[in-house]
């Protein structure tokens, strides 16, 4: 919004109310709008996209994917896979199948991200264009599964189920617990108590939320840094394997181990014949490849998303896939097959045979401590990136009317480092001794002032803490396995299957006209990738309910995700899918309860609950016919049913600048005008007949010789005090005190119901 001076507005026939004109000229309209957003109508939610300097580029987007994907999976999954397949050849084939699954899922998310949601642009002949938005799966479920729902774009069932499930499970509680476990192990502290582990887990969750709330830019830079560290960790393993084959380590067998593990005569020897073993192995691989969808959660914060998003996603996923295969081959170049199957975690054996052999008597726990350090770093990186992306999804969920106090969860608040710098400059006790430091260009407040979804971070931290404490009765290892397994089962497998089905339905239902809306995507490729992604996600959904073979070696693997056995205490094999289904059922019941409460209130007040959205878009880049969201206004409103019978106008953006007359509104019509631009208007308003209910959350800058909307010479016409209802939401500089006017006694900055 451009800065402009605010002028007092008088009625021609009555004196104006007292008004501090100098003060009005010093107020930035963006600050005024922010003030209204925080303290005004609790039904109205206004959010802005980040300014261009703060948007994500190629490196940041790639960092989100790499940091999220390279986690605990690549270090623990190889052990689970080979323990279930019993052969190196089958193991590599399953990893290749995982790559196909990940690439197919990537295509599904790119197709959704670049084409959903959509908006009609009046300046382009009222044609429909894609407007990428943050929120990820939430937007896609709202577009593909529109019914059942309470009303148009209001409380759809599938999207609501995903929303509640994501609020419960879309956090890093499991990774926070495993971070605490591994940081104690890496420090050489044996057998830390349960309370200490959970205290560290809660602290690291709080620290991640604070970092992203205090400095959005700092949190993104930290995520990118962790991505680079993880790439170096992968390269470190690969280089170590090459050195081992070159006999750079004591007792090295050169390339003999690699030849034995991958020789054509031995590569498939001893392969498991049980189908359940392969199912367990592939589920573990799917878990290791999870995370490529992270940019979809923050798509509204990416610079030029129509180009940056797909390119960065393809590059990042390609890098991870190549590294995953190279790391698995590195394990096989060092660790013999029998040791991989029977000695537990492969990466521990890898470091014991390499760096542990350098000083065999110095520390017998070298492999475990290096492994624990790698896992701690990976877990912390996952916590950082997921806190940033998940909070954006929960901010969008806050706009859906599913949660109480929606404005608190959905709005951005300036809790940034830039705000602290402004306070420091205004405080003499700080600004005087540190004047030189505070005047540095790199510490200019405008470079660090970034509103962040503080309410969403609070929600994220609360759910994370609740899960950590709710599982206090289980061991920390059990807690990690249950939480990560349930999250993968519900959010990745179950809702991932629904996403694939939704995309196939768009392709085959002609009235959705998906082929015309996606001209740059080959239909056959869209169908093939959707089917592969669907099969890959349905596979664990179904096989999780198949009882494992009691003789399977996975039963003896202490790190198995679905059938964990720790300290000889086995968890039930059906625990993870049962807990996952319980979360889904709870989400469905929450939706039923929300519908019940809304309809009860509608019957009591004779109103209808609706959610109106007005998205202001801009071209990015200019002249490209590619649009992104600049600002979004969401109005959660209860409308009288008698008004619906005579017609309701949905919120629109109307221009009332000079030369644009206010259009006449007939008697008995409900008009809702969002973001009307009244700047510079002078007596341009046609009369509004009695019976109008007007909603004007607009900008009234520079309005001269104002005539209140709906007020004509007749004393009983228009919007009368005590008569017809009218709202001026966000009206700035309106000062009429005319007795017969709708607006009287209102100072600049006031807003409310008249």
Tens-digit pLDDT profile for residues 64-83: 999 999 988 888 888 888 88
The whole-angstrom distance between residue 709's C-alpha and the CA centroid of its chain comes to 41
Residue 514 has pLDDT above 70, yes or no: yes
Residue 443 has pLDDT above 90, yes or no: no
pLDDT at residue 424 in the model:
87
Confidence of residue 338 (pLDDT cuts 50, 70, 90): confident
- For domain 52-416+451-588, give its CATH number from 1.20.120.1810, 3.40.50.20, 3.40.50.360, 1.20.1740.10: 1.20.1740.10
**Mean pLDDT of the region 284-306:** 92
Cis peptide before 535 (omega within 30 of 0): no
Residue of higher predicted confidence among 212 and 625: 212
SS3 263: coil
Rounded to whole angstroms, how far apart are CA atoms 156 and 105? 24
Residue 42 has pLDDT above 80, yes or no: no
Rounded to whole angstroms, how far apart are CA atoms 73 and 446? 40
DSSP 8-state code for residue 547: P
Rounded to whole angstroms, how far apart are CA atoms 10 and 577? 67
Burial of 593 (0-12, 13-18, 19+ CB in 10 A): exposed
Q: What is the value of pTM for the model shown?
A: 0.80
Residue 345 has pLDDT above 50, yes or no: yes
Distance of CA 314 to CAs 296, 322, 614, 664, Å?
A: 13, 12, 32, 52
Of 5-14, 41-50, 389-398, 482-491, the range with the lowest mean pLDDT is 5-14
Strands 693-696 and 726-728: parallel
pLDDT at residue 328 in the model:
93
Rounded to whole angstroms, how far apart are CA atoms 606 and 356? 75
Residue of higher predicted confidence among 555 and 713: 555
Q: What are the tens digits of pLDDT across the range 525-539?
A: 999 999 999 999 998
Distance of CA 731 to CAs 16, 84, 676, Å?
A: 16, 66, 10
Closest CA to 611 of 400, 398, 394, 393: 400
Most confident listed range (13-22, 341-350, 669-678):
341-350
Residue 637 has pLDDT above 90, yes or no: no
Closest CA to 23 of 737, 732, 681, 678: 732
Confidence of residue 452 (pLDDT cuts 50, 70, 90): very high
Q: Do 200 and 179 touch, CB atoms closer than 8 A? A: yes
Confidence of residue 460 (pLDDT cuts 50, 70, 90): very high
Residue 713 has pLDDT above 80, yes or no: no
Confidence of residue 364 (pLDDT cuts 50, 70, 90): low
Q: Where are the alpha helices (DSSP H) in 170-215?
A: 173-186, 194-214
Confidence of residue 7 (pLDDT cuts 50, 70, 90): very low
Rounded to whole angstroms, how far apart are CA atoms 86 and 272? 6
Domain boundaries, the chain: 21-41+647-753, 52-416+451-588
**Mean pLDDT of the region 714-726:** 32
Of 57-71, 294-308, 334-348, the range with the lowest mean pLDDT is 334-348
% of the chain residues with pLDDT over 90: 44
Note the maximum CA span of the chain. 102
Closest CA to 382 of 163, 74, 136, 64: 64
**Mean pLDDT of the region 176-198:** 91
Of 130-144, 279-293, 413-427, 672-686, the range with the lowest mean pLDDT is 672-686
Of 103-107, 359-363, 674-678, the range with the lowest mean pLDDT is 674-678
pLDDT at residue 343 in the model:
74
Residue of higher predicted confidence among 498 and 7: 498
Q: What are the tens digits of pLDDT across the range 262-272?
A: 888 778 887 77
CA atoms within 13 A on the CB side of 331: 27
Residue 748 has pLDDT above 90, yes or no: no
Burial of 303 (0-12, 13-18, 19+ CB in 10 A): buried
Closest CA to 640 of 616, 670, 667, 682: 670
pLDDT at residue 570 in the model:
63
pLDDT at residue 549 in the model:
66
Residue 169 has pLDDT above 80, yes or no: yes
Confidence of residue 430 (pLDDT cuts 50, 70, 90): confident
SS3 317: helix
pLDDT at residue 32 in the model:
37
Average pLDDT over the chain, rounded to whole? 77
Residue of higher predicted confidence among 706 and 180: 180
Burial of 746 (0-12, 13-18, 19+ CB in 10 A): buried
Q: Do 230 and 67 touch, CB atoms closer than 8 A? A: yes
Tokens coding 343:
């000695």
Most confident listed range (75-89, 538-552, 726-740):
75-89
Residue 36 has pLDDT above 70, yes or no: no
Residue 224 has pLDDT above 70, yes or no: yes
Burial of 358 (0-12, 13-18, 19+ CB in 10 A): exposed
**Mean pLDDT of the region 681-686:** 34
Confidence of residue 362 (pLDDT cuts 50, 70, 90): low
Confidence of residue 203 (pLDDT cuts 50, 70, 90): very high
Residue 674 has pLDDT above 50, yes or no: no
Q: Which residues on adjacent β-strands are paired with residue 685?
A: 662
Residue 559 has pLDDT above 80, yes or no: no
Confidence of residue 676 (pLDDT cuts 50, 70, 90): very low
pLDDT at residue 103 in the model:
97
The residue behind tokens 């409103």 is 637
pLDDT at residue 700 in the model:
36
């Amino acid at each position: 919004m451009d800065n402009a001076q605010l002028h007092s507005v008088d009625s021609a026939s009555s004196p104006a109310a007292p008004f501090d004109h100098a003060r009005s000229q010093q107020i930035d309209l963006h600050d005024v709008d922010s003030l209204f957003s925080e303290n005004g109508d609790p039904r109205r939610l206004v959010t802005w996209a980040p300014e261009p300097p703060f948007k994500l580029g190629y490196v940041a987007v790639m960092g989100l994917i790499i940091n999220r994907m390279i986690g605990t999976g690549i270090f623990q999954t190889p052990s689970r896979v080979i323990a279930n397949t019993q052969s190196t050849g089958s193991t590599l084939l399953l990893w290749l199948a995982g790559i196909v699954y990940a690439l197919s899922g990537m295509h599904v998310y790119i197709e959704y991200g670049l084409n959903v949601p959509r908006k009609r642009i009046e300046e382009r002949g009222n044609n429909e264009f894609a407007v990428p938005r943050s929120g990820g799966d939430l937007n896609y479920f709202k577009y593909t599964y529109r019914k059942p729902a309470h009303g148009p774009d209001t409380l759809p069932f599938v999207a609501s189920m995903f929303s509640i499930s994501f609020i419960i499970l879309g956090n890093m509680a499991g990774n926070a617990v495993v971070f605490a476990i591994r940081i104690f192990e890496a420090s050489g502290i044996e057998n830390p108590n349960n309370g200490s582990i959970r205290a560290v887990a809660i602290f690291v969750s709080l620290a991640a939320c604070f970092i992203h709330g205090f400095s959005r830019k700092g949190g993104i830079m930290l995520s990118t840094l962790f991505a680079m560290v993880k790439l170096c960790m992968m390269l470190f393993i690969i280089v170590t394997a090459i050195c081992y084959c070159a006999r750079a380590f004591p007792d090295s067998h050169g390339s003999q181990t690699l030849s034995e593990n991958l020789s054509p005569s031995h590569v498939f020897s001893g392969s498991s014949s049980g189908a359940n073993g392969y199912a367990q192995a592939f589920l573990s691989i799917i878990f290791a490849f999870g995370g490529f969808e992270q940019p979809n959660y923050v798509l509204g914060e990416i610079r030029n998303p129509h180009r940056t998003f797909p390119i960065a996603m393809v590059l990042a996923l390609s890098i991870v896939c190549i590294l995953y295969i190279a790391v698995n081959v590195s394990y096989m170049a060092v660790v013999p097959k029998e040791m991989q199957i029977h000695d537990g975690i492969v990466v521990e054996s890898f470091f014991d045979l390499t760096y542990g052999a350098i000083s065999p008597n110095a520390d017998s726990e070298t492999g475990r401590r290096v492994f624990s350090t790698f896992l701690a770093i990976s877990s912390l990186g996952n916590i950082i990136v997921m806190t940033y992306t998940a909070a954006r999804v929960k901010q969008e969920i806050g706009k859906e009317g599913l949660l109480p106090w929606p404005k608190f969860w959905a709005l951005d608040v300036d809790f940034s480092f830039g705000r602290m710098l402004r306070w420091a400059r205004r405080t003499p006790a700080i600004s005087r001794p540190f004047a030189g430091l505070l005047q540095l260009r790199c510490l200019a407040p405008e470079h660090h002032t970034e509103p962040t979804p503080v309410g969403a971070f609070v929600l994220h931290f609360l759910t994370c803490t609740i899960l950590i404490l709710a599982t206090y009765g289980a061991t920390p290892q059990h807690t990690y396995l249950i939480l990560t397994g349930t999250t993968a089962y519900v959010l990745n497998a179950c809702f991932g299957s629904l996403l694939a089905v939704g995309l196939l339905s768009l392709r085959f239902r002609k009235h959705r006209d998906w082929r015309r809306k996606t001209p740059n995507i080959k239909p056959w490729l869209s169908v093939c990738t959707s089917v592969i992604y669907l099969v890959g996600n349905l596979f664990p959904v179904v096989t999780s309910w198949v009882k494992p073979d009691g003789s399977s070696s996975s039963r003896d693997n202490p790190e198995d995700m679905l059938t964990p056995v720790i300290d000889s205490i086995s968890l039930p094999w059906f625990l993870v899918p049962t807990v996952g289904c319980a979360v889904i059922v709870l989400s469905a019941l929450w939706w039923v309860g929300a519908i019940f409460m809304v309809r009860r209130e509608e019957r009591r007040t004779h109103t209808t609950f609706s959610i109106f959205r007005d998205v202001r878009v801009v071209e990015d880049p200019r002249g490209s016919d590619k649009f992104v969201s600049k600002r979004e206004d969401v109005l959660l409103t209860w409308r009288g049913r008698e008004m619906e019978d005579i017609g309701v106008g949905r919120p629109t953006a109307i221009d009332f600048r000079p030369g644009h007359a206010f259009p006449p509104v007939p008697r008995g019509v409900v008009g809702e005008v969002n973001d009307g631009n009244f700047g510079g208007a002078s007596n341009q308003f046609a009369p509004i007949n009695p019976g109008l209910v007007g909603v004007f959350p607009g900008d009234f800058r520079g309005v001269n010789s104002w005539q209140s909307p709906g007020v004509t010479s007749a004393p009983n016409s228009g919007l009368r005090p005590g008569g017809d209802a009218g709202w001026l939401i966000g009206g700035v500089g309106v000062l009429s005190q005319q007795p017969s006017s709708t607006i009287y006694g209102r100072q600049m900055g006031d807003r409310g119901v008249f």
